[in-house]
Amino acid sequence: MGDFNENDIIYDWNSVNKVAPLSPSKILFMDETLRDGLQSPSVVDPLVADKIMLVHTMNALGIQHADVGLPGAGPRSRRHVEAIALEIARNKLSIKPAAAARTLDKDIQPIIDISQKAGVEIEVLAFIGTSPIRRFVEEWDTYRMYKLVRESIRLARSYNLPVCFVTEDTTRAKPDMLYPLYHVAIESGAERICLCDTVGHATPDGLKNLINFTKNIIAGMGKSIGLDWHGHNDRGLGMVNSLHAIEAGITRVHGTALGIGERCGNAPLDQLLVNLKLLGAIDNDLSSLLLYCKQAALATRFHIPSNYPVVGPDAFRTSTGVHAAAIMKARKAGANWLADRIYSGIPAGMFGLTQQVEVGHMSGDSNAVCWLEDHGIPAEPDLVKEIMEFAKQGDRVLDDLEVHFIVNRWRLRKRAAQTTETGVKT
């Protein structure tokens, strides 16, 4: 096969007409797993020890910010937020804690108290609903909303806590509501604005319109304000919308491990990290990604789907004969780089994983040969034949235990035959 150049054997249509990086500034991440992710009705609120372990893994992945809870929700939430803040301070972790709060003093004050006790700055994510449907149902008075936003942000800023003003349901809010709210928030000291696709309503075109609208407001005020995007997955666009949001000028994007969250979940932060890494937009070490997802799944009792990208059990498995044959050819040529990509758009090795060739009813001899070699067993022709005869009788992929049974049975029969032959000769 000889030497090869990556660009010669994989043509990348994704980079055609790309004349600039995805984002001109450093992309920041806000991990919402321990707050918005826990609103899923199918998960449990983890023990504080599990939350702390997950925060350490977020830190290892280079995630810069984590929403660690809503302490105004009750004593348990407050205790957990405090414990996590203390852990971050004690261990001098790089990750910065944030906490959610309604635009009410009674939600802001617990964050202030925890920040002072832990000796660590906690960003306040002050949120309020902004869409007409929310305001109609809640019977909110517009001027009272302005007052709540102003007073809550000023309270947090009086203790030098950074504030991100979060407009719930932004993607269904009217411009004439967002315009004055953003002015009030920024004039009161908010350093960031978070645009929320709370019910997963936005399309890429819609979010670009909203982002451009908000950027014009900020430019008109002559302020340097960061922009966040918080997406949900109700239309299945959570991750894709996050990429478009970054391209449109968002500097910090929110998401959760495995996309857990209310209804159809949030934008999956793990998938976003993978795609940004493959696009060359970030250089984070993602070797802890599998650990991150498994920790989140165990802590929240969430089942990772078999076909989930990268970390799902089937992500790098194949039992198809043609695929296995191609992988074997690449391996024999000593081209492990190629073997990891010949039938995979994501290299398993990037995450400390390997391509798994298995044996089933749709397999060929290459599958059996590859399986045997991967398990350190000589691929003798009659053993390969026996494995394939067994596999072709079924309707599924064989479990490793089943293949080991076939191998052991073949060895016993071969040993018996050799013993008999030796006895005859004697």
Q: Which mean pLDDT values do the consecutive 10-residue runs of the chain (426 residues) have?
A: 64 79 91 97 96 98 98 96 98 98 96 97 95 81 91 97 97 94 96 97 96 96 95 96 96 98 97 95 94 97 95 90 84 77 86 88 92 92 93 93 94 88 60
Tell me the domains of the chain and their CATH numbers.
Answer: 23-300 (3.20.20.70), 317-423 (no CATH)
Q: What is the pLDDT of residue 191?
A: 97
Angle among Cα 49, 50, 52 to the nearest 5 degrees reads 65
Question: What's phi and psi for 245, nearest 5 deg?
Answer: -65, -40
Res 322: pLDDT: 87
If you compute the radius of gyration of the chain from its CA atoms, what whole number of angstroms results?
A: 27
For residue 7, what pLDDT is reported?
64
**CA 137, chain centre distance (Å):** 33
pLDDT of residue 115: 98
Question: Using CA atoms, how far apart are residues 190 and 125, in angstroms rounded to an integer?
Answer: 10
pLDDT at res. 424: 56
Strand-pairing partners, residue 126, are: 101, 165
Cα–Cα distance, 44 to 326 (Å, whole number): 43
Enumerate the β-bridge partners of residue 266: 232
Q: Read off the tokens for 294.
A: 């498994």
The amino acid present at 206, given as its one-letter code, is G
Q: Supply the DSSP string of 247-278, one letter for each residue.
A: HHT-SEEEEBGGG--STT-B-BHHHHHHHHHH
Q: φ and ψ at 342, to 5 degrees?
A: -60, -35
Cβ(35)–Cβ(260) below 8 Å: no
Q: What is the pTM of this model?
A: 0.90
Give the per-residue pLDDT at 391: 92
CB contact at 8 A, 70 and 77: yes
Task: Give the DSSP H/E element, type plus range, for residue 96.
Answer: strand 96-102
One-character DSSP codes across 286-351: -TTHHHHHHHHHHHHTPPPPTT-TTTSTTTTEE--HHHHHHHHHHHHTT-HHHHTTTT-SS-GGGG
List 409's β-bridge partners, or say none: none
At residue 422, the pLDDT reads 67
